[in-house]
Amino acid sequence: MNAVAAGNGIELFIPKLYDIVWSLIILLILAVFFYKFFMPKFQAIFDERSAKIEGNIQKAQKARDDADEAKKEYEDQLGKARVEASQIRDDARAEASRIVADARNRAETEANQITENAQRSLRSQQQQALVSLKGEVGTLATALAGKILGSQLQDNAVQSSMIDSIIADAGKGESDGQKA
């Protein structure tokens, strides 16, 4: 392989001046490009992207917090409403039973009143009947006795005292009968 070995191999390892010059110039241009344009540009893109992602995450977090809060509020209200409803139900039940009790009381009172009135009027009518009966019985008895005794009972005083004692007996007998 003479061809491969051709030329002085050591020359490969000796930098040439113009090569150094151009290598430095090219590297400098590329370094400036990478340092001043390429890397900052992409760094800005990366930063912006991560800021955006972070912002979105925060936004989502906030939305979730808001939703949690709203849910809590809603649940609180629901609970409150439930308590209120049961309160209202209890109140209504109490009110209803009170109304029923009132009505019953009133009805009882009225019934008592009616009974009492009826009894009172019965009693007074009885009394009236008794009084009128007393008068009639007296008259009837007088007439009957007059008829029986005829003229024997002419004396007025004897006549009326006898009638009274008869009526008193009759009245006592009647009240005894009523008690029994």
Partner 1 sequence: MLEAIGSGTISLAMAKPSELPSVDDFLPPEILFQGTPFAMNRIILVRFVAMVVILLVLGITAARAKLIPSRWQGAIEWVIEFIRDSVVYDTLGEVRGKRYVPMITTIFLTILVFNLCGIIPGMNIAATATITMPLVFALWTFFQYMITGIREQGVWGYFKAELFPAGVPWPLYIILTPIQLLEMIVVKPASLTIRLFANMVAGHLLVAVSLAFAQFYVIEATNKLLALAGIGWFALGFALTAFEIFVAALQAYIFAILSTVYISMSYPEED
Residues that bind partner 1 (CB under 8 A): 1, 3-7, 9, 11-24, 26-27, 29-31, 33-35, 37-39, 41-42, 45-46, 48-49, 52
Residue number with CB closer to partner 1 (38 or 74): 38
Residue number with CB closer to partner 1 (58 or 160): 58
Least distance (Å) between residue 37 CB and partner 1: 6
Residue number with CB closer to partner 1 (21 or 129): 21
Distance CA 109, CA 102 (A): 10
Least distance (Å) between residue 58 CB and partner 1: 17
Distance CA 20, CA 29 (A): 14
Dihedral through CA 12, CA 16, CA 18, CA 22, nearest 10? 60
Least distance (Å) between residue 59 CB and partner 1: 16
Residue number with CB closer to partner 1 (5 or 180): 5
Least distance (Å) between residue 54 CB and partner 1: 13
Least distance (Å) between residue 40 CB and partner 1: 9
Are the CB atoms for 168 and 138 separated by under 8 Å?
Answer: no
Residue number with CB closer to partner 1 (12 or 157): 12
Q: What is the gyration radius of the CA atoms in the chain, in angstroms?
A: 66
